[in-house]
Structure 1
Amino acid sequence: MSSPAADRARVADLDAQISFLERSLSELQSEKQLVLERLYSYKYPVLTVPTEIIAEIFIHFLPSYPVCPLLLGPDSPTLLTHICRKWREIALTTPALWRAISLLDSVIHGVDHDKLVDMCHTRSRCLPLHLHFSWIFAPAHTAEFLASVVPHRVRWEYLNLRYLPVSHLHILEGPMPLLRRLDWLSHLPTATKFACHEAPTYAQLFLTPLPLGA
């Protein structure tokens, strides 16, 4: 059994070990702080590249316009905003990255499509646009979504609509002065009409009917 003298000796020994460990911890923390200060002062070569060159690299990272990359996921302009703060700022202020917008319900779901597209319209500033939308799951808010993008139709240069219900097509009618091509894949009744007013550059219209039951 332990005696009071043995316990006092053990406490003294433990105090000595604790003091030693505390000094060691303090030294390690000081060394860590010095290393961090060196890291913070280090300029990574990639961060010294001029903003204009980085923006040009970003543009070449995406498919050449008017090809539409997906708005989210790999090979998307959104991916470029996830690298670091500086690159995010450059990506968000490079309009050419946001002029081709592709939203496919079969790939993107559980997100606010209206908010995403509105952000892209803002980020692309005044550039002509290529919009590629798919309503394969026929979301209930299709009419509201179309109404939110229609104010920007004067900038539409290419428009690709997949599975858009015929009943909603009239929402898109109106002036499209820059429109060059319209692709529409849907169940098309023979009496379907679509009016493209004030579209002097309008050159190609592709209406692809789906077989019944498709």
Structure 2
Amino acid sequence: MAMLRARLAHIDEQVAALESQMALLRRDRKIVQDELAAIVYPILTLPDDVTSGIFLQYADDYPTQICSPMVLASICTQWREVALATNGLWTRFSAGHFYVRSSQKLVHFPDLLRMWLSRSGALPLDLRIPLPSSTSTIPSREAIVRLLFEYSSQWGSMQLSSPESIELPRDIEGGSFPSLTHLSLYSHHAVAPIPSFLDAPRLRIVKLAGLTLVDHWRDSLPSLPWGQLTNLEMQIADLGECLDILEHTQMLEVLGFTLNVDLEQVPPRGIILHHVHTLVLCGQPSHGIIPHLTLPALRRLGIEMVTSEYTPAIESLIERSGCPLTMVSLDDMHDVHAIAALLRTIRTTQEVQLKLPMLDEDGFSRLFKTIADDPSLLPALTTLEITKCMPGTIELSPLADMLVRRSGQRGEFESTKLESFKLLFREPSGYDDFLPEWNFGGRSDEVARDIGRVRELRAGGLGLEIRPTVPWLNGNVTAEMAKALCGPL
């Protein structure tokens, strides 16, 4: 019994000691809590409308991030209340295709979308929605479509994509879209009719891919208000349908056409589009549309994957249209001969943009030499921009020669002086991108001479921007050279 009493007394002593420690901790906790409560966060003293305005600026800086309102709402209670009450934060919704590939995420997708849209108030919406396949084990496709059309009066910009045809339930076909200005419809791996968007008085910009007309053009009304469009991009396999559409787009200003399969032979249509100032062609067979068009107002031309077939087609277009092209953009090419042949046909061009990720060092040297030596090539050139270059592919000497010749230092180019040159390299994507740098063939005296020549041009007024991504060790244009070329004079 004595042992038990002794043990109990020892336990009581331990309890008393712990209670004393707890009292001290409670006192310290209150002190810290009071100090925290006394801290004033300046950002939380702002009026709610100012905080809301800051939130909207943040959303504008990150327009594609679906998480931006969610991030703001997760900081603290006050910010959550402001974010939930700021309708403008909830007007953009962009869901990646990972949503439609994951059955677990897809289960809750309609609920997430409904919650999001309900917070937008009555503001115009910018939506990018991938639809799941109709064979998906989760029956969400029709639910998503119906939910979207509940808000059709608020659509400002809509991008709708689907692995199959974009078909609407019959009871919502032909809705009203009073705020819609931009519409993009993409049907992947299928050719599908275009849903009807006739009642869209503000619609001006349309992008279509993998779609066809409803029924037959001549037997039915068009599914879109073609006559009011100013910007149209099409990736349609049927050239005849494309031309049928263009005959009804007399207000068009920007036309983009993509084709990756050979075109069928179609009799010349002689379509005149008086307001088209920009034409963009993608895909090697896309030159087949050019003979059908006359574009008197054409000023800007963009072509991806230039081949020799483009040269006579573009030359005929310019002659037929009487259009003084002022800007040309060529993308994804490695044939210097095809580039030069095409540019020779466009003598009025003042601005040239070349995106050349596939061109090697020899190709660039030949291109610069051709531009430097041939007075018939781009005689009106004032601005030259070359981008997406592979690191280590630009030799400084031929580049400097071209800049000297084109900047009015020699008589044949005095009438049109190159005023601006920009050279941008793409980010290295792997170890192979660094291999060309391990070359010590460059001579320092030659490099110094060429740098001096280019700096003299800058002192004479040449605008110059060169941005390599890595420091190089060879005689080609390097990060250190770029500093010397573009640094303070």
TM over 0.5: same fold?
yes
Q: Distance in 1 between matches of 2:15 and 2:31?
A: 24
Aligned ranges 1:10-159 → 2 under 5 Å: 15-16=12-13, 18-63=15-60, 67-70=63-66, 73=67, 76-107=68-99, 109=105, 112-135=108-131, 139=136, 140-159=139-158
Report the AA paired with residue 25 of structure 2. L
3-state SS in 2 of match to 1:58: helix
Supply the distance in 2 between the matched residues of 1:13 and 1:119 (Cα, whole angstroms): 60
Residues in 2 aligned to 1:164 and 1:115: alpha-carbon distance in whole angstroms = 22
Give the 3 Å change call, closer, same or farther, for CA 104–92 of structure 1 in structure 2.
same
Partner amino acid, structure 1, of 2:162: Y
Return the TM-score normalized by structure 2.
0.37
Residue 165 of structure 1: how far off its partner (Å): 3.2
Other structure's SS at 2:73 match: helix
Structure 1 residues 35-56: Cα deviation after superposition (integer angstroms, max 9, x where no partner) = 2133234322221122122112
Q: Residues 134 and 161 of structure 1 are in contact (CA less than 8 Å); yes or no, is this contact kept in structure 2?
A: yes
Change (3 A) 1:82 1:125: same
Residues 20, 61 of structure 1: alpha-carbon distance in 2 compared, 3 angstrom cutoff: same
Which blocks of at least 5 consecutive residues in structure 1 are unaligned?
none
Larger Rg over CA atoms: 2
SS of equivalent residue, structure 2 residue 206: strand
Letter in 2 for 1:131: L
Q: Conserved in 2, the CA contact under 8 Å of 1:106 and 1:136?
A: no
- Is contact 1:146-1:172 (8 Å) kept? no
The structure 2 residue matched to 1:189, chosen from 188, 191, 205, is 191
Q: Could you say if the C-alpha distance between residues 202 and 13 of structure 1 is closer, same or farther in structure 2, counting changes exceeding 3 Å?
A: closer
Cα distance in 2, alignment partners of residues 19 and 95 from structure 1? 57
CA–CA separation in structure 2 for the residues paired with 1:177 and 1:125: 16
Correspondence for 2:201: 200
- 1:93 CA displacement: 0.6
Which residue of 2 is the match for residue 178 of structure 1? 179
Residue deviations 1:133-167 (CA, integer Å, cap 9, x gap): 01355543201211122121011011101226325
Structure 2: which amino acid aligns with 1:176?
F
From the superposition, tell whether residues 162 and 20 of structure 1 become closer, same or farther in structure 2 (CA, over 3 Å). same
- Aligned with 1:157: secondary structure? strand
Q: Is the Cα–Cα contact under 8 Å of residues 58 and 91 in structure 1 kept in the other structure?
A: yes
Whole-angstrom CA distance in 2 between matches of 1:58 and 1:48: 15
Q: Is the 8 A contact 2:128 2:159 kept in 1?
A: yes
| TM-score for the superposition, normalised by structure 1 | 0.78
Q: CA deviation at 1:98?
A: 0.5
Distance 1:136 1:113, change over 3 A: closer
| Whole-angstrom CA distance in 2 between matches of 1:32 and 1:142 | 54
- Retained in 1: the 8 A contact 2:133–2:141? no
Q: Is the 8 A contact 1:80 1:87 kept in 2?
A: yes
User: CA RMSD, aligned part only?
Assistant: 2.9
**For the structure 1 residues 34 and 114, does the alpha-carbon distance in structure 2 shift closer, same or farther, using more than 3 Å as the test?**
same
In structure 2, what is the Cα distance between the partners aligned to 1:193 and 1:20?
80
Deviation at 1:13, TM superposition (A): 5.9
In structure 1, give the amino acid aligned to 2:82. I
Contact 2:99 2:109 in 1 (8 A): no
2:133, 2:165 → 1: CA distance? 15
Q: Which has the higher contact order (CA 8 A, sep 6+)?
A: 1
1:177–1:15 distance in 2 versus 1, CA, 3 Å: closer
In the alignment, structure 2 segments of 5+ residues that lack a partner are 211-234, 237-489
Residues 104, 136 of structure 1: CA spacing in aligned structure 2 closer, same or farther, 3 A cutoff? farther
Change (3 A) 1:160 1:23: same
Q: Which amino acid aligns with 2:22?
A: L
> Aligned residue for 1:162?
161
CA distance in 1, matches of 2:110, 2:89: 18
Cα distance in structure 1, aligned partners of 2:206 and 2:148: 20
Measure the CA separation in 1 of the matches of 2:89 and 2:183: 21
Higher mean alpha-carbon deviation, 155-164 vs 26-35, is at: 26-35
Work out the CA distance in 1 between the residues paired with 2:57 and 2:181. 23
Percent pairwise identity? 27
Secondary structure of the corresponding residue to residue 93 of structure 2: strand
Letter in 2 for 1:166: S
Distance in 2 of aligned mates of 1:13 and 1:143: 72
Q: How many residues are aligned here?
A: 202
Moved more, 179-188 or 13-22: 13-22
| CA displacement, residues 165-192 of structure 1 (integer Å, 9 cap, x when unaligned) | 32524656311111111111114537x2
Is the 2:130–2:162 contact (alpha carbons within 8 Å) kept by the matching residues of 1?
Answer: yes
> How much does 1:207 deviate?
0.9
Is the contact made by 1:106 and 1:137 (CA closer than 8 Å) also made in structure 2? no
Question: What's the CA shift string for 1:91-123, capped at 9, x where partnerless?
Answer: 011111011111234158255222222222221
